[in-house]
Structure 1
Amino acid sequence: MTIIVIGKSGQLAWELTQLSTPEQTVVCLGRGDVDLQDVSALVDTLKQYNVAGVINASAYTAVDKAESDVENAYQLNARAVGHLAQACKALAVPFVHISTDFVFHGDKGSPYLPSDEINPLGVYGASKAQGEQLITDIYPEQSIILRTSWVYSTHGNNFVKTMLNLMATKPELGVISDQIGTPTYAQGLAKSCVASISKQVTGIHHYTDTGVASWFDFAVAIQSIALELGLLDKKIAIKPITTAQYPTPAKRPHYSVLDKSSLVSALPEVSLTHWQTQLRVMMIALKAEREA
C-alpha cells in the first residue's frame, strides 16, 4: 500500500518520507507530478498507485505575502484542497489535510477546541479556513483536518534554523513575546498523519506538542540547547519585544494554543510530548546531520 503525500519540498513532506516502510511506502508528489487544479487528472495520477490514503502537506504559507497575493493563496489553500477532496472521494480513500491555528482570531485566552468558532485575521487564515469548509462539504466521511502550529524540522526553513543563523551572526536579537502558542516538531505531526489513515480518523482535530510558549520563550530555549550541544559557541542577548514594535503586513493571533484532547481520544497510541523535549530531540538530530 502507498501513502501519497501532496507536496515534496516542505518539512512535513520530508518527515513523512522518513516513515516509509516496505509494507507502506510514502510517495511525495510535487508540482511537476500532479495538477491540483484538475480533478480528473488528479484521479488518474492517484490511480497509478495502490493508495492507502492521501496527505495534503502542500500549502501557501507565506503569511505576509498572502495579504497582497490573495488569488494564489486561495488557489492553493482552498480550491486545490477542494479538488483533492473530490479526487479522494472518487477513489474512496482516506484524506488527511493539514490546517493551521491561524483560522482562529486569538482572543480566547484558553486552548482552542476543534469546535470553537473560527475567525481568521488575514488572508492566509481565511484561505485555510475555506479549504477546511470545502473538505467538510465534499468528503466528511473519510477526511481528517489536523490543525497545527509553529512547525519546525531539521529539513527546510523554519524558526529554529532562522534563530540559529541569527544567533551566530548578530550581537543581540529582539523576539516577540506577546504572541502565545505551541511549537511543534514535524516528526510527531507526520506520525499522527499516518496513524490517522490507519485508524480511519475523521473530523477536525488538533495536533501540536504540549506546553505553551511565546516566540521569545522559544528563542531563549533554542539558544540554551544550542549552546549546550555546541551548535552555537557564544551567548547573545535576546530581548522581548511586542507585536506593535515589529509590524507586519498580516495580523497574527495573539493566543493560539490548541486543545489536543479529541485527537488523543481518537488516537490513544499517539503520545504528546512537551515542546522543549521535542526541540532538544530535533536539535540533536540537526547536530548529527551537520557533523555528517
Structure 2
Amino acid sequence: MKILITGANGQVGQALTQRLTGSGEIVALDRHSADLSQPEHLRAVLDANSPDWIINAAAYTAVDKAESEPELAFTINAQAPKMLAEWAAAHGAKLVHYSTDYVFDGTKVGAYVESDAPAPLNAYGASKLTGEQAIAAVAGVQTWVFRTTWVFAAHGNNFLKTMLKLAQTRESLSVVNDQFGAPTSADLIADVTATLIDKVQGGLGPTTGLYHLAAAGETHWQAYAQHVLRCAQARGEVLNIAPEQVAGIPARDYPTPAARPANSRLDTTKLEREFDMALPDWRVGVETVVNQLKA
C-alpha cells in the first residue's frame, strides 16, 4: 500500500507522516514537490507515484490574507482538491481531505452537525466549502472529508505557541472570549486518519463522506490561552503573565480583515459512531503539546 501525503511540512502533514510510518510506503510531499497552486502539475506527480491513498493535508490557511488574494485561496483549496479527486476516481485510489469549521457562519446555538447548511463568513471558508463541493461532485471516488477546528501542533505557527511566546515577552495580554470551539491537535487528526485507513484496509468501513473531527469539550480563546499558560507553569516555564492575568475582550475589540464565526463547535457523533472511537478532551492535546515544547 502506497500513501501519498501532500502538505507534508505543515502541522497536519508532519503528524500524518510520523503516525503513518510503518503503515505502508509513505510518499511525503511538501509544496515544492506537490504545489497545489498549480493543479495542472499535480497529475504528473500522481502518475509518477501511483498511490493507493491520497491524503491532502495541503491548504491555503492564511485566513486574513485570503481576503486580499481569494483567487489563490480558491486554486489551492478548491481546484486542486477537485483534481486530486478526479485522479483518484480514474485510478481507483482513495482520498482523504481536510476542511474547516469556517464553512459555517457561527450563528447556530449548539454544535454543528454535518447536515447543517454552510454559510462561510470569509474567503477562506468559502474556498474550503467550494473544495468540499468539488470533491463531492466527482463521480466514483472513494473519499472522506474531515472538517477540523482550531488546529495546533508542536511544530508550525499556531495560537498555542503564540500565546506562550507573548506570555514570555509581554507585560499584558488580551484575548477574545466570545468565540467558542475546541482546540484540536494535529496528532488527533492523524490518529483518526490512521484509524480510517486501518479499518478500510480491513474491510470494516467507515462509510465515505463528510465527518466532523474535533476534540471533545469546548472553550473560548481566552480560556484556551489561560490553560496553555497553566500547563507551561506546571512544566516550570517562567512567564511574565500569569494565566489569571490574561484579560478577555469581545471580538469586536479585535478587528481582523476576515470575519470569524462566534460558534465553531462541531458535533462529532457521526465520526465516533462510524469509527467506534471516543475523542479525547481538548485539554489532553494541549497538555501533550506544551510538554513536547518544553522537552
Alignment TM-score > 0.5, same fold? yes
Q: Which residue of 1 aligns with 2:193?
A: 193
Q: Which residue of 2 aligns with 1:60?
A: 60
| TM-score scaled by length of structure 1 | 0.93
Taking the aligned partners of 2:158 and 2:139, their CA distance within structure 1 comes to 32
| Secondary structure at 2:52 match in 1 | strand
Q: How does 1:177-188 map to 2 (within 5 A)?
A: 177-188=177-188
Q: Which residue of 2 aligns with 1:169?
A: 169
More deviation, 48-57/95-104: 48-57
AA partner of residue 282 (structure 1): V
Matched, 1:210 2:220: no
Name stretches of at least 5 consecutive residues in structure 2 with no aligned partner.
201-205
Q: Which residue of 1 aligns with 2:291?
A: 284
CA contact (8 A) 1:205 1:263 kept: yes
Q: Which residue of 1 aligns with 2:85?
A: 85
Q: Which residue of 2 aligns with 1:224?
A: 230
Please report how far the alpha carbon of residue 197 of structure 1 lies from its aligned counterpart in structure 2 after TM superposition: 2.9
Taking the aligned partners of 1:140 and 1:218, their CA distance within structure 2 comes to 41
What do residues 40-80 of structure 1 show as CA deviations (whole Å, max 9, x unaligned)? x5344224436231111111111111111111111111111
Q: Which residue of 2 aligns with 1:11?
A: 11
Please report how far the alpha carbon of residue 28 of structure 1 lies from its aligned counterpart in structure 2 after TM superposition: 1.6
Q: How does 1:127-276 map to 2 (within 5 A)?
A: 127-139=127-139, 141-200=141-200, 201=206, 202-236=208-242, 237-268=245-276, 270-276=277-283
Name stretches of at least 5 consecutive residues in structure 1 with no aligned partner.
none
Please report how far the alpha carbon of residue 35 of structure 1 lies from its aligned counterpart in structure 2 after TM superposition: 4.8
| Secondary structure at 1:18 match in 2 | helix
Q: 1:216 to 1:233 in 2, by over 3 A?
A: closer
What do residues 125-177 of structure 1 show as CA deviations (whole Å, max 9, x unaligned)? 00100000000001464011100000000111111100000000011100000
CA contact (8 A) 1:67 1:124 kept: yes
AA partner of residue 210 (structure 1): A
Please report how far the alpha carbon of residue 27 of structure 1 lies from its aligned counterpart in structure 2 after TM superposition: 2.2
User: How large is the RMSD of aligned CA atoms in angstroms?
Assistant: 1.6
Taking the aligned partners of 2:212 and 2:281, their CA distance within structure 1 comes to 15
AA partner of residue 186 (structure 2): A
| Secondary structure at 1:138 match in 2 | coil
AA partner of residue 222 (structure 2): F
Taking the aligned partners of 1:209 and 1:276, their CA distance within structure 2 comes to 9
Taking the aligned partners of 2:23 and 2:269, their CA distance within structure 1 comes to 30
Taking the aligned partners of 2:39 and 2:152, their CA distance within structure 1 comes to 31
AA partner of residue 279 (structure 1): V
Q: Which residue of 1 aligns with 2:42?
A: 42
Runs of 4+ in 1 over 6 A off after TM superposition: none
Taking the aligned partners of 1:34 and 1:185, their CA distance within structure 2 comes to 24
| Secondary structure at 2:20 match in 1 | coil
| TM-score scaled by length of structure 2 | 0.92
AA partner of residue 244 (structure 1): R
CA contact (8 A) 1:223 1:232 kept: no
CA contact (8 A) 1:164 1:232 kept: no
More deviation, 21-30/210-219: 21-30
Taking the aligned partners of 1:68 and 1:233, their CA distance within structure 2 comes to 36
CA contact (8 A) 1:16 1:26 kept: no
Taking the aligned partners of 1:110 and 1:35, their CA distance within structure 2 comes to 37
More deviation, 2-11/173-182: 2-11
What do residues 216-258 of structure 1 show as CA deviations (whole Å, max 9, x unaligned)? 0100100111011123344432000001100111110000100
Taking the aligned partners of 2:64 and 2:39, their CA distance within structure 1 comes to 28
